[in-house]
Amino acid sequence: MARIAGVDLPPNKRLEVGLTYIFGIGHSLSKKILSDAGVNPEQKVRELNDEDTTKIRKLIEEDYRIEGDLRKEVSFNVKRLTGIPPSPRPSREGTANPYERPHPQGPEAWSGRGPEEGDGENLAGCQRSAVGKRRLRAES
């Protein structure tokens, strides 16, 4: 069984897949490491000799940040970025709530209660709401 970067690689997997068990190494990086080391990616981990294991281990330790170092860096970055306050949203002039969009014709043009009594032409769009149904019943 090969042990690289403190991880026991599964013996029945191909080398290309076995290297992905190391945190920070995916399929594409695994292929690149094996091609740089000159090792056949199709061979099983159990068929790996000591010389090839040493090549792979040395290449990974020199060129890539993996396992503990990578976990520390990711953890530090998450803590650093969660400490940054969110940017304020832009305020809109003339509204009570800065996050609320103003009505195109101004607040006095729309009361938010639906059509006023006597607006028979606008009742068709309001029939589905509870207010519209009450108004229709009251008019009939």
Confidence at residue 43, expressed as pLDDT on a 0 to 100 scale: 92
Confidence at residue 96, expressed as pLDDT on a 0 to 100 scale: 59
How far are the Cα atoms of 24, 50, 77, 81, 82 from residue 85, in angstroms, in the given order? Answer: 29, 51, 15, 9, 8
Q: What is the pTM of this model?
A: 0.54
Confidence at residue 44, expressed as pLDDT on a 0 to 100 scale: 92
The Cα 62–Cα 125 span in angstroms is 70
Handedness of CA 7, 11, 16, 17 (dihedral sign): negative
* Highest CATH level, class, for 3-80: mainly alpha
Confidence at residue 27, expressed as pLDDT on a 0 to 100 scale: 92
Confidence at residue 123, expressed as pLDDT on a 0 to 100 scale: 47
pLDDT averaged per 10 residues, the chain (length 140) = 84 91 91 91 90 90 86 88 74 58 57 53 52 65
Domain residue extents for the chain: 3-80
